[in-house]
Amino acid sequence: MTNQGIAVTIHTISTQAFTDQKPGTSGLRKRVPVFQQPHYLENFVQAIFDTLGDVSRDTLVIGGDGRYYNRQAIQIIIKMAVAKGFQRLLIGQSGILSTPALSTLVRKHQAIGGIALSASHNPGGPDGDFGIKFNTANGGPAPESVTDAIYANTKTLTRYQVADLPDFNLDRLQTSHAHNTQVDIIDSVADYGALMGKIFDFDAISSLLRREDFGFLFDAMHAVTGPYARTLFVDMLGAPAYSIINGVPREDFGGGHPDPNLAHAQELVTRMFDPHGPDLGAASDGDGDRNMILGREFFVTPSDSLAVLAAHATLVPAYRDGLKGIARSMPTSAAADQVARELGIPLFETPTGWKYFGNLLDADKVTLCGEESFGSGSNHIREKDGLWAVLFWLNILAVKQQSVHTIMTEHWRRYGRNFYTRHDYEEVDAANAGALMSALTQQLPELAGKKFGAFTVDFADEFSYLDPVDQSVARNQGLRILFTDGSRIVLRLSGTGTAGATLRVYIENYVRDPQRHGEDTQKALTALIGLAENVARIRHYTGRERPSVIT
């Protein structure tokens, strides 16, 4: 399609505001049928565009994780972007862009931002979830000041504009012109792959992956990372093609749940916990920003993974000069704190949500960031990055020539072990979940100094965060009960689901004694798990005898 010099009709469509378009920590997420309502997606896109002003010299990046309704949504956004008057649109081939790749493109091409179409790790399909998120010019999720402005626009919107254009062929690499806009359908992987090659020692990783005595297995979960994994691990690094499983993106993720954890990546977990299984296993989620790392018969918690990456960062070319600092979300275990302390670098504790790392990264205060919810990343982009984490582990293994199990046990011997677990109660009645949090909040002032068996409460509070860069304050970010021995219980309601509420309970105990490091995590935390249940009355409020997912 080439329409250079041909006038395109711009239609102004009357609409009414929707009342449920407030973005959460990861954009706007709803069930697919909600987005399919007339004007629903268009209203939200127009609300984004209305925050941007004149874009006649700006580039916008567009892509998604390939889930159901991805292609249709992209066609709508292209036509609205042409109507808005963007100078250039960059769109991933077949509508595919992992969230890390979108951030890469925004930064490389100095775009005004990007629109990511994804509901991350949530299920897809005609009755599944869909989402839309705006990333700003630094490549990261829009801060609250921007999402608040978008939300304000959704409440007063009376019209949106769309260009009268036929659909674009998203599957063919091409450059087209419509009205005043250049529309480029680009290779989804190329720029991201080139960036990974600048960060890691590809020669060392390639030598490792080509060894007959080293087994590697990556589960793309029928999500966005399939094409990226094939290009990186197979084509560029020489891993056998059978190293990639579930590598073809599907609109319903093959009927699975694209959440890389022990409960949902069953095929990978089964093969990795075979005594003769591969040496390194990994998985990523729907949009490619999360990761799970496994050794043979060994699960690496995301909190421990962040700590190991930080401790071994100088083995990777891009971080050879050391780290400026480390940032972790508040619910993430304090394993990285031990490393930061020994390295003599700052450790920042932020609320959950990758956007809170953006200011720290832009101000060059930190190099590595991580969340317990299977996300880690660095200053190379402004999103968490699943494949980056896998490459980081491969780089460490290639240099140290040790197993994942050995690396972890040596790490614990040096820094101590933070026994840590997360219990998720999914799709809980929202009113009951709110009542639980409210009742516990009222208890917090009375808990300091109380003894519960072997544990004495040091203090308990509702976590608030003062951003050291812009001095903004984020309140109501979760409830914390901290004990004098360093143990913690944290409770918060997640904002990533689309039905009911998800209660997350985080439990942690720091153990220095190497003789205890081999204990089973759930058994080691039995007393604290029971304490959390009793103090928060979890069964009473949720009606659940056990969590939906334990990680």
**Which residues of the chain are modeled with pLDDT < 50?**
1-5
| Residues 325, 359 contacting (CB under 8 angstroms) | no
Question: Any idea which residues carry the catalytic annotation?
Answer: 120
- Rounded Cα gap, residues 368 and 223, in angstroms: 25
CB burial string 274-297: b at 16+ within 10 A, e below: eeebbbbbbbbbbbbbbbbbbbbe
> Residue 406 to residues 174, 218, 375: CA-CA distances in angstroms?
49, 21, 23
Nearest to 401 by CA among 228, 226, 204, 231: 204
Provide CB contacts within 8 A for 429, sequence distance 6+. 500, 501, 542, 543
3-state secondary structure of 472: coil
| Residues 300, 294 contacting (CB under 8 angstroms) | yes
- Rounded Cα gap, residues 137 and 143, in angstroms: 11
- Rounded Cα gap, residues 27 and 34, in angstroms: 15
- Rounded Cα gap, residues 30 and 22, in angstroms: 11
Query: Hey, what's the torsion of the CAs at 354, 358, 359, 361, to 10 degrees?
Result: 120
pLDDT (tens digit per residue) in 467-524: 999 999 999 999 999 999 999 999 999 855 556 799 999 999 999 999 999 999 999 9
- Rounded Cα gap, residues 108 and 484, in angstroms: 47
- Rounded Cα gap, residues 295 and 407, in angstroms: 10
The side-by-side arrangement of strands in the sheet containing 501-511 is 451-452, 455-462, 479-483, 488-494, 501-511, 417-428, 549-550
> Residue 302 to residues 18, 180, 340, 406, 485: CA-CA distances in angstroms?
38, 46, 16, 17, 22
Report the pLDDT value the prediction gives residue 3, as an integer from 0 to 100: 45
The structure tokens 């999500």 sit at 223
The structure tokens 């997360």 sit at 422
Strands 549-550 and 417-428: antiparallel
pLDDT (tens digit per residue) in 57-95: 999 999 999 999 999 999 999 999 999 999 999 999 999
Provide CB contacts within 8 A for 517, sequence distance 6+. 409, 412, 413, 417, 511
| Residues 432, 543 contacting (CB under 8 angstroms) | yes
Strands 465-466 and 159-163: unpaired
Report the pLDDT value the prediction gives residue 30, as an integer from 0 to 100: 96
> Residue 216 to residues 241, 243, 375: CA-CA distances in angstroms?
10, 6, 20
Report the pLDDT value the prediction gives residue 499, as an integer from 0 to 100: 63
Domains along the sequence of the chain with CATH: 10-188 (3.40.120.10), 192-415 (3.40.120.10), 417-550 (3.30.310.50)
Give 140-171 as a DSSP string: SBPPHHHHHHHHHHHHH--EEEEE--PPP-TT
Report the pLDDT value the prediction gives residue 323, as an integer from 0 to 100: 98
Instruction: Work out the angle at residue 129's Cα, subtended by the Cα atoms of residues 331 and 230, and round it to the nearest 5 degrees.
Output: 80
Nearest to 76 by CA among 10, 176, 162, 184: 162
Give 27-75 as a DSSP string: BEEEEHHHHTSTTHHHHHHHHHHTTT---TT-EEEEEE---TTHHHHHH
Strands 368-371 and 455-462: unpaired
Q: What is the CA radius of gyration of the chain?
A: 23
- Rounded Cα gap, residues 460 and 195, in angstroms: 43
Report the pLDDT value the prediction gives residue 497, as an integer from 0 to 100: 52
Provide the whole-model pTM. Answer: 0.94
**DSSP symbol at 24:** B
Query: Hey, what's the torsion of the CAs at 298, 299, 304, 310, to 10 degrees?
Result: 70
Give 351-419 as a DSSP string: -SSTHHHHHHHHTTS-SEEEETTTEEEETTSSS--HHHHHHHHHHHHHHH---HHHHHHHHHHHH-EEE
Instruction: Work out the angle at residue 99's Cα, subtended by the Cα atoms of residues 57 and 129, and round it to the nearest 5 degrees.
Output: 110
